[in-house]
Amino acid sequence: MNQPLSRHVPCAFAMACVILLLCLAPSGKAQTAGAIPSLHASAPLADGTPVVRQTPASAVSSPRPFSRFAFGGDISTLGIHLQTATYLTPHFNLRATGSIFGLTENNLSTNGFDVDAHLHLSSAGMSLDYFPFPAHGWRISPGLLFYNGSGAEATFQAQPGTSFSLNGYTYYSSASDPVRGAGNVGLHSTDPAFTITTGWGNMIPHHGHFSFPFEIGVALIGAPKLNMALTSGQVCNSNGQNCVNVATDPDVQANLQAQIVKYRKDLEPLKTYPIVSFGVAYTFQRAR
């Protein structure tokens, strides 16, 4: 059931990086007049000699759109997070993100069940970073998570003679034919998903090359999709008698479906999936 994590690598993030790099490639054009230091005359000296002063290029104009870009990485609730951003104006950056993470745990023991579980997080998106006060690092970032393959799968087996509850009914797993099952959770019922975050730290700082951006917000991924099945085995009464097959008994299946509805309600708050990240980025100047 578990698929290799490499199949969930967000290819869309790589495409977004290529688009940004194409925009950032050297244009081969001459430097614009706005970036060349300007000369202007001031009042002459007492002996009539004119005075010419030079105005720094930084005082003449702001950097051009796509003239600076940055790459960064961080740890996020979405996984291992990679980012690339480019400068648009003093108020705006365009940012592409991609995340990936995988974790497999076998032979877990919980509530009388032996569980093999696999968690995989993979996503890609784009955001527009808006800086209301360009001299400061605070920003607001609406965006779109246009790829989301995050979820989890598990297989489980009840330990012989163990009791468990479904929809308020207690069952006892057969000692000779224990209950087996499988389940999965999908964190992507809304795809693409809108994101909104805020944070501190401009990936493309006004001075220097390094920055340490922090971000917090949510992705509106929709209510998680949960499915679970009891695939084989028998349940009995407390004396180990009157055993029935869990895969075919209508009462067991009815209680299982009712229990799944309760689990889905418990997971519903995750429809606004939290985003928290902190990392480091390095800024490059576009070649002229």
Report the 3 state secondary structure along the chain: CCCCHHHHCCHHHHHHHHHHHHHHCCCCCCCCHHHCCEEEEECCCCCCCCEEEEECHHHHCCCCCCCEEEEEEEEECCEEEEEEEEEEECCEEEEEEEEEEEEEEEEEEECCEEEEEEEEEEEEEEEEEECCCCCCCEEEEEEEEEEECCEEEEEEEECCCCEEEECCEEEEECCCCCCEEEEEEECCCCCCEEEEEEEECCCCCCCCCEECCEEEEEEECCCCEEEEEEEECEEECCCCCCCEECCCCHHHHHHHHHHHHHHHHHHHHHHEEEEEEEEEEEEEECCC
Predicted confidence at residue 197, as pLDDT, reads: 97
- Per residue in 90-144, pLDDT tens? 999 999 999 999 999 998 988 788 999 999 999 999 999 999 998 888 999 999 9
pLDDT block averages, 10 residues each, the chain of length 288: 42 45 42 43 57 50 84 95 94 96 92 92 96 92 95 93 89 92 93 95 89 96 95 91 93 95 94 95 79
CATH (residue range 10-20+67-285): 2.40.160.170
Q: What is the spatial distance between Cα 237 and Cα 173, in angstroms, rounded to a whole number? A: 9
Q: What is the spatial distance between Cα 231 and Cα 115, in angstroms, rounded to a whole number? A: 14
Q: How many residues does the chain have?
A: 288
Query: What is the value of pTM for the model shown?
Result: 0.73
Domain ranges of the chain: 10-20+67-285
Give which of 7, 60, 13, 11 is closest to 37, Cα–Cα. 60
Q: Which residues contact 114 (CB under 8 A, 6 or more apart)?
A: 107, 108, 156, 157, 159
Q: Which two tokens stand for residue 219?
A: 């992705």
Mean predicted lDDT score pLDDT of the chain: 83
Q: What is the spatial distance between Cα 197 and Cα 148, in angstroms, rounded to a whole number? A: 17
